[in-house]
Amino acid sequence: MTVTGTDAASAGIEARQFPTNKGGLCQKGWTAAEVLRVPGRLTTPLVRVDGELVPTTWDAALDAVATTLRRVRAEHGADAVGIFGAGGLTNEKSYMLGKFARVALGTSNIDYNGRFCMSSAAAAGNKSFGLDRGLPFPLADIGSARAVLVLGGNVAETMPPFVQHLRTAADAGGLVVADPRRTATVDRALSAGGVHLQLSPGTDLALALGLVHLAVVEGYADRDYIDSRTEGFDEFWTAAAQWWPERTERVTGVPVARLRETVRLLAQSRDAGTGAYVLTARGAEQHASGTDTVSAVIGLSLVLGLCGRHGTGYGCITGQGNGQGGREHGQKADQLPGYRKITDPAARDHISALWGIEESALPGAGLSAYELLDALGTPGGPRALMVHGSNIAVSAPRAGHVVDRLASLEMLVVTDFVLSETAAMADVVLPTLQWAEEEGTMTSLEGRILRRRRAVDVPEGARGELDILADLAVRLGQPADRFPREARTVFEELRRASRGGIADYSGVTYERLDAGEALHWPVPSETHGGTPRLFLDRFETPTGRARFVTVDQVGPTEPADADFPLLATTGRVLTHYQSGAQTRRVPSLSEAAGPMFVQVHPDTAGRAGLEDGEDADVVSRRGTVVARVRCDASMRLDTVFLPFHFADAARANLVTNPALDPTSRMPEFKVCAVRIAAHRVGATEGETA
């Protein structure tokens, strides 16, 4: 998009023609300028005095932070300080945050909210392909396909411009959407004869294996491709062979006829050369078995011979603003820049030499996002936490417990530009810049590096995160030149840090980006044109073959029972984004969304003594969320839906289950056991069942 005007007051938005959005914007995009001027925009640091946040100077705020961080480290060790980052940070800020944590603080405890979003797909991609990039092909490639399967993605509401790329498939009757709800994306599919796989929450893995079974036994498997470009099929098939159609229908609730139609659509479009793609999103991934689920979906794509070919493929739909780049440069607990593993000796040598420290001084892997939050204030856990661009009081699972952990800290520091629910709990709040006020780069879901240019004047008082980290680093004893303040200088260092890594940016320059070059990583030299399509010749595994990963259905960690007979799933609505910290401050968006709601079948509501428009308590073993009943006859009788953008007693994550995927450490946001009842006035927020 292009920003008009020179300051927040005069800023406006104009859409631009670009391959991913084709000149379109969603409501959040059209109103993005309003976020620049929302009431309550922070421009002055705040410190807590006698229980209240009061304005202070930058020097006083930074001195207070540094003093406490030094004391906590001296008394309890470097890992007593933690950092929680975000997928909305630029590549430069993501990189510098990881460096600050490991060099200035010496802590291993850094992770970010992307652990809650794409981590299961990333883990599965690394297992099967040896590399994780959301889409290993340009998004525009999907636009010509006549068959697309979307598992757990409601892109019509979460990423409306994305829907343009599904138009060919939808109009051909080849758009298939797997989702427990009849969403706007499902409606788009059904409007032209597509397919809705309305599965029970938590059965995505069984669905994928059932589709694999049909692809093989009904003759749609690409045997030549399996033999020449993959390994591990026989073991994978041993598990998938057990998922005959009737068993799959019994577990998932999806009729056999729709399973058969899905496989037929993909295979016929593949054979006709008209394109076939399989895409996953959070609905399939945010489970305690999310990595295995995506592995099964990748297995389906490999059985059909879709990966590493023009016109077909598997991809993960990445949601956050810099969801792809944010996970490549060191924000994750187990990762170093360039998508290197922090346990790799060669990676450690490379990065420590660049940073000017001994390899032995570089920490190892720390706690993953929820484990980090769960450990706050506990014996041996972090006693101080710095939060950058994340609203974990709303967005973390088992949110009531996370708020208790935040309250137990000796110091909570939040860097943000609005007083989010998390910032309101902080001991120090550091006001930072917004997207239109800063320079940097972002990386799209297709691995394309994009330039972000400063479009409006910086408001007096606010500082960018690069300045904040540099000032704190000096106060913590670091040389001033170790933490650059200018985005361009940081990017030059990031290029060197990523050189030779999986996500190699070493050939990318601001000059090339400003000249309009489309650079998809890896870009290993300044004469390299980038890699828009991965895996055409080989996969990034030692053998060059894609791996089938043997998995099997395990079901939700918390199934429904007599006390909690319903399954709750969470997601987004059209006009809100993430925790709603920004969009809830834009009147047109907030009014369009209305209050927090629980979507439920009328019969299910009736059995609970509820009617449409009434307030209800949605209760799990962890807490209670208050929501307005919204009856919808398209809902499954066993399922309720909660959007996760609201605050206080309306936080959906008061009820969600923090059970973690053993590989990705992704919490199980997408299914937990609940009951619903009429709202009890005076019931406490987050009340335990």
What is the torsion angle, in degrees rounded to the nearest 10, for the CA atoms of residue 600, residue 601, residue 603 and residue 609? Answer: 10
More reliable by pLDDT, 292 or 454: 292
Residues 6+ apart with CB under 8 A from 235: 548, 550
Q: Which CATH architecture has domain 119-316?
A: 3-Layer(aba) Sandwich (3.40)
Which sign does the torsion angle of CA 28, 33, 37, 41 carry?
positive
Rounded Cα distance, 195 and 35, in Å:
38
- pLDDT for position 19: 76
Helices (H), 444-539: 465-475, 487-498, 510-514
Interior CA angle at 410 toward 408 and 412, to 5°? 85
In terms of Cα–Cα distance, which of 316, 123, 301, 146 is closest to 221?
Answer: 301
**CA-to-CA separations, 620 to 253, 343, 688, in angstroms, rounded:** 23, 38, 8
Domain covering 566-678 assigned CATH 3.30.413.10 in the classification: no
When pLDDT is averaged across residues 10-37 and rounded to a whole number, the result is 75
pLDDT at position 576 over 90: no
Rounded Cα distance, 496 and 480, in Å:
19
pLDDT at position 689 over 50: no
In terms of Cα–Cα distance, which of 380, 345, 339 is closest to 364?
Answer: 345
When pLDDT is averaged across residues 575-602 and rounded to a whole number, the result is 84
CB 627 within 8 Å of CB 615: yes
Q: Which helix (H) or strand (E) holds 587?
A: helix 587-593
In terms of Cα–Cα distance, which of 273, 318, 25, 298 is closest to 149?
Answer: 298
HEC-encoded secondary structure of 117-177: CCHHHHHHHHHHHCCCCCCCCCHHHHHHCCEEEEECCCHHHHCHHHHHHHHHHHHCCCEEE
- pLDDT for position 11: 78
**Cis, bond preceding 522 (omega within 30 deg of 0):** yes
When pLDDT is averaged across residues 159-163 and rounded to a whole number, the result is 89
- pLDDT for position 25: 74
pLDDT at position 38 over 90: no
Domain ranges of the chain: 1-37, 40-116+322-486, 119-316, 566-678
Rounded Cα distance, 271 and 261, in Å:
15
Q: Which residue bears the tokens 């023009």?
A: 310
Stretch among 352-361, 454-463, 499-508 having the lowest mean pLDDT: 454-463
pLDDT at position 688 over 50: no
pLDDT at position 28 over 80: no
- pLDDT for position 24: 75
- pLDDT for position 683: 57
Q: Quick one: pLDDT band at residue 687, thresholds 50, 70, 90?
A: very low
Q: Which helix (H) or strand (E) holds 440?
A: strand 440-443
Helices (H), 275-343: 282-285, 290-303
- pLDDT for position 32: 76
- pLDDT for position 210: 98
CB 416 within 8 Å of CB 384: no
More reliable by pLDDT, 585 or 236: 236
* Biggest distance spanned by C-alpha atoms of the chain: 72
Q: Which helix (H) or strand (E) holds 660?
A: strand 657-660
pLDDT at position 524 over 70: yes
- pLDDT for position 599: 98
Rounded Cα distance, 673 and 281, in Å:
22
pLDDT at position 18 over 80: no
- pLDDT for position 587: 82
Domain covering 40-116+322-486 assigned CATH 3.40.50.740 in the classification: yes
Q: What is the mean pLDDT of the chain?
A: 94
Q: Give the tens place of pLDDT for each residue, 384-436.
A: 999 999 999 999 999 999 999 999 999 999 999 999 999 999 999 999 999 88
Rounded Cα distance, 585 and 607, in Å:
36
467 burial via Cβ count (<10 Å: 0-12, 13-18, 19+): middle
Q: For the chain, what percent of residues have pLDDT higher than 70? A: 98
Q: Give the tens place of pLDDT for each residue, 70-94.
A: 999 999 999 999 999 999 999 999 9
In single-letter form, the type of residue at position 283 comes to G
450: which strand partners?
442
DSSP 520: B
CB 416 within 8 Å of CB 429: yes
Model confidence pTM above 0.75: yes
Q: Quick one: pLDDT band at residue 575, thresholds 50, 70, 90?
A: confident
Q: For the chain, what percent of residues have pLDDT higher than 90? A: 85
SS3 651: coil
pLDDT at position 201 over 60: yes
Q: Quick one: pLDDT band at residue 30, thresholds 50, 70, 90?
A: low
When pLDDT is averaged across residues 116-145 and rounded to a whole number, the result is 95
Rounded Cα distance, 8 and 4, in Å:
10
CB 308 within 8 Å of CB 179: no
When pLDDT is averaged across residues 338-360 and rounded to a whole number, the result is 97
When pLDDT is averaged across residues 101-118 and rounded to a whole number, the result is 95
CB 566 within 8 Å of CB 675: yes
Q: Give the tens place of pLDDT for each residue, 175-190.
A: 999 999 999 999 999 9
SS3 421: coil
- pLDDT for position 160: 87
Token couple for 444: 């799209």
pLDDT at position 686 over 50: no
CB 676 within 8 Å of CB 619: yes
In terms of Cα–Cα distance, which of 329, 346, 304, 308 is closest to 531?
Answer: 308
Rounded Cα distance, 485 and 182, in Å:
48
CB 367 within 8 Å of CB 375: yes
